[in-house]
Each structure stands twice: as C-alpha cells, then as structure tokens.
Amino acid sequence: MTDVRVMLGRSMKHITRSMDTIITVTIMPIAFLLLFRYVLGGAIQAGGGNYTNYLMPGILLMAIVSGISYTAFRLFNDMKSGILERFHSMPITRSSVLWGHVLTSMVSNTISVAIIVLAGLVIGFRSSAGVLSWLAVAGILLLFTLALTWAAVIPGLTASTPDGASAFAYPLIFLPFVSSAFVPTATMPGPVRAFAENQPVTSIVNALRALLDQQPVGDDIWTALAWCAGLLVLAYVFAMAVYRRKIA
C-alpha cells in the first residue's frame, strides 16, 4: 500500500502540472451536453420529461471513456522513457506502478464527472435522488471507470506509438450514441435496436437514470454491475499477464 501511495502521488503530480488534461476531457462531453440540450433536444422525444436529466448519464459515461485514454497515454510514455525499468530495479512491489496509474485515472475522472454535473446543474439538471441513490450512482461510475482503466492499461503496455495507445478509446466513445443515452431504443430500426438494447452502455445508462430520478431500477442495475464486473475481471487478468510478460 505504501508503494501504491507513492506511485499515486507521482502520477497525480503529473496531472496537477498539466490540468489541461482534465479540461480537455471535460470540454467534449459538456459540448455534447449543450448540443443535445439546446440544438437537437427540441426535435427528440424522450418521454416528455427534463431532457437534461435524460442526457446526463450518457454524458458522464462519455467523459469517463475520454478520460481513460490518457491513462494509456501516460503508461505508454513511462514504458518508452525507461522509467519502469528503473522502478523495477528498486525494492518495490511491481504491480504498484500500474495501480498508481489506475488510481490516478479514478481521481482525475472523478474530478471531470464532478465538473460536468455542475455544468448540468447550470443548464437545468435536477435530481430527486436521496443519499443512498447518489451513493449507488457513484459506485456504478467508479466501477465502470475502474474496469475501463484496466482495459486502457493493455494498449498502454502494448502500443508502438502514443496515438495507438490512446486511440482504443475512440470506438468506445461512440457506444453511447447507439444506446438509450440520447434517445429511447424503441425509436431505432430492428437490428440497431437489438444491438443497442444488449450492449453494456444501455443497461448502465438506464440504471443511472432510474437512480437519479428515484424510479424503480429493475434488472438494469444487476445487468450493469455484471457488465462492469465482468469487464473488470477480464481486463485486470489480461493486463497483469501482459505486464508480467513485459517485465520478465
């Protein structure tokens, strides 16, 4: 734990010296929030309620996906600079290097999500959720961030260029567009609807939306947790296997 704390402090210093990373990560989701709210929102039928409330879960997931690409980029830079070999020559727990990057991603993405929620409040986002519901929302977002961050470790260790390390997140950013994040899946054509209703973003978005509106969650929360936990286990096992092979 001491080694992880030291590595976390090192990575966080890089973040605090380059706050433009967090700013860049938050700009795009806020831009999409404003676009859908003020440009496209009038033409979209989403249950007749507060459309900003409808948008918010999908926007938060987009922000997290954008943020984890920087984890892969920072890890790639450590790999290429030779600092990992220097760390491995020291009497430290080798996995602490990865955990330092992972926890940094958790902290930086939490900051980004908080900024986006504040922006949402300014343009009309309101939630009737109680403390327990907000804790459940936070837990799902943290689990989602942790799972994707460990997935980001893999290209960070294996990519041959900086662009290749961070580019894996680009396809993931588009998953919310083919989900219930911005429009109900019932409005989609058959094959697209089938994909949208059976991909992880839809269940996660539906669970978050129900929790924030204090509506019955149903099976969505268990599906969302299963997706996140399954991805986390697979990503962690594969990332650690790649890491051990790299440092062998």
Say whether pLDDT at 63 is over 80.
yes
Structure tokens at 220: 């969505």
What average pLDDT does the segment 102-106 reach?
Answer: 88
pLDDT tens-digit readout, 126-171:
888 889 999 999 999 999 999 999 999 998 888 888 877 777 778 8
pLDDT the model gives residue 205: 94
Distance from C-alpha of 234 to C-alpha of 151, rounded to nearest angstrom: 8
> Tell me, what amino acid is at 139?
G
Alpha helices per DSSP H over the chain: 2-16, 20-34, 51-81, 83-88, 95-122, 131-158, 162-167, 169-173, 190-197, 200-212, 220-247
Top-confidence residue, 164 or 104:
104
Mean pLDDT for 217-221 is: 87
Domain boundaries, the chain: 2-247
pLDDT digits (tens, 9 = 90+) for 34-60: 888 887 766 666 655 778 888 899 999
> 116: exposed, middle or buried (C-beta count within 10 Å: 0-12, 13-18, 19+)?
buried
Q: What is the pLDDT of residues 19-28, one digit of tens each?
A: 666 677 778 8
